Amino acid sequence: MSTVFYPFHSILTVTLSHILYNNIKYFFTKKQPMKKFISEIISTGTEIMQGAYPDTNAREVSHRLQKLGIPPLYHTAVGDDKKTLRDILGIARNRTDVIIMTGGLGLTVDDLTRDVVSELYGKPLIPDRKAADMIRARFAMRRKHMPESNLAQALLPAGSIPLYNENGTAPGFIIYEETSHKALIALPGPPREWIPMFDNFVADFLKTHFPGSAIIDTLVLRTIDIPESQLNEQLKPLFNALPGVTFAFTFRTGKVDIRLTASAPSSGETSQLLEDARKKILRLIDPECIYSEGNEATIEAEVGRLLTARKKTLAIAESCTGGLLCKRLTDIPGSSNYLKEGIVVYSNEAKVKYLGVRDETLRHYGAVSGETVAEMATGMKRVSGADIGVGITGIAGPSGGSQEKPVGLVYFGLATEDSIITCQRRFTGERCLIRELAADFALDMLRRTLISSTDEPDMR
């Protein structure tokens, strides 16, 4: 058997190579923590600064950045002033990785985004042929003459990624600075234009170039008829007790939203965190005070959903709310499937004429009473042929109240095939607030009745 001897330097080379290979392999195979990117939203427009319009774009962009795991640290609104816009954009460029700008891509003198970006980034504006063709085609489709000045919207910063506009004339664009790994994304102002642009193109760009260090998602539990202080006290044991989940309360007129935000490496994990938190919440508070779940859900939409699911129809007689309840229900598309009719019976004569409320009831108990509202609800059900009749009568103020029946006293009646429910509430505030709270209470009364009217599981 022969023995082979290797020189010492060869052994050392092989050993060092082996160690180096294993270290490189470990570095690339080990799961490295992902960078947490910072984003900023800049909304342009003097009308926002003057308070003429709310900055709803920032809210909608924020929702989308949260879901991508790039939550914004800054919301900035700036008027239509070239120097101010340049200064703000310069600050944002230095302190953030991703800038989302909305607005300022039109043709008027106050549309400055293209020019300011061109100057600050040192990228001349050059015509984009496809954008120009799309602008011409849009005017041709409308059979309108296109002023040549419209083609200024097709000027985009050199080297930028165009975001073609299928719903308007102004294209957006992306400037990606590969060396510094930063991006500026300029979007038009109208939501019907920028939302499809973001959802169809920008989201994929951000996922590719700025993958979030975590997936962030929210769940909103909307409550009614329970004070914020009571919710806070009942849910206190869960605060800081659910890793990866944070709580926030948002108070709206007569209602409180519980906003849960979960952060985890995957969407499946965030969903599980939110579902676990939801179950724990439902063990600590009355589940029926939660009228809906979801970022945009309303109580009128939930009532409409329940009426549809139960195959019930509704008719409403309103006095002090003046048609507000019907208005809110008919704001929901498809409400004609369940709302048969509504009537405003403001005077005693109207209550008698249209609903058959008895003169004797009005004389003995008055228009604002449980007896009158019961007859309003049953009369409305009878004359309409609906499954459910609702009546509302009260004193919205600021005058008309007394010691016995003060301003803010409202009676509610609900008539079904099997029963008549009446109740009263005393609301405080100005006339419009009392009417809004009364409509809310009537909707919640309807919701709770519909939930308890069948053994079918609540599909909330």
Indicate which CATH number applies to the domain containing 242.
3.30.70.2860
Domain annotation covers residue 435 = yes
Q: What pLDDT was estimated at residue 75?
A: 96
State both tokens at 231.
């919710």
Q: How far apart are CA 304 and CA 89, in angstroms?
A: 45
Residue 220 and residue 201 in one domain:
no
Q: Is residue 22 part of a domain?
A: no
Residue 369 lies inside a defined structural domain of this protein: yes
The segments of the chain whose pLDDT lies below 70 read: 1-34, 213, 295-296, 454-460
Rg (CA), the chain: 31
CATH number of the domain within which 126 lies: 3.40.980.10
334 and 445 share one domain: yes
Angle between helices 370-384 and 348-355 (to 10 degrees): 40
- Residue 39: count other Cβ atoms within 10 Å of its Cβ: 24
In a domain, 31, yes or no: no
pLDDT of residue 142: 78
Q: Is residue 114 part of a domain?
A: yes
Count CB neighbours of 413 within 10 A: 28
Q: Are 417 and 388 in contact (CB under 8 A)?
A: no
Q: Are residues 187 and 266 in the same domain?
A: no
For residue 421, count CB atoms less than 10 angstroms from its CB and return exposed for 0-12, middle for 13-18, buried for 19 or more: middle
d(CA 442, CA 421): 12
Summary mean pLDDT of the chain: 89
Give one DSSP letter per residue of 186-238, joined into a string: EE-SSHHHHHHHIIIIIHHHHHHHS--SSEEEEEEEEEESS-HHHHHHHHGGG
Q: Is the four-CA dihedral 200, 205, 208, 213 of positive or negative sign?
A: negative
Give the list of residues 6+ apart from residue 9 with CB closer than 8 angstroms, or none: none
The pLDDT assigned to 206 comes to: 95
- On whether both 56 and 202 belong to a single domain, the answer is yes
Q: What pLDDT was estimated at residue 295?
A: 63
231/380 same-domain check? no
Who's near 286: CB < 8 A, 6+ residues apart?
A: 226
Residue 195 shares a structural domain with residue 262: no
234 and 111 in a common domain:
no
Domain extent, residue 119, equals 39-209
Measured in whole angstroms, how far is the alpha carbon of residue 142 from the centre of its chain?
33
**Domain tally, the chain:** 3
Instruction: Fill in the DSSP letter of residue 106.
Output: S
pLDDT of residue 217: 86
Residues 275, 342 share a domain: no
Residue 1 maps to a domain: no
Looking at the fold, whether 196 and 261 belong to one and the same domain comes out as no
Taking only the tens place, the pLDDT of each residue in 44-60 is 999 999 998 899 999 99
Position 9 scores a pLDDT of 44
In a domain, 7, yes or no: no
**Tens digits of residue pLDDT in 99-113:** 999 999 988 777 899
Give the CATH number for residue 397: 3.90.950.20
Which tokens go with 63? Answer: 């929702």
Residues 174 and 225 in one domain: no
- The Cα 380–Cα 409 span in angstroms is 21
For 235, 270, 271, 274, 322, the CA distances from 281, given in Å and listed in that order, are 7, 16, 15, 10, 37
Tokens of 105: 């891509």
Same domain, 188 and 165: yes
User: Is 117 among the domain residues?
Assistant: yes
Reference 258, options 230, 244, 272; nearest CA is 230
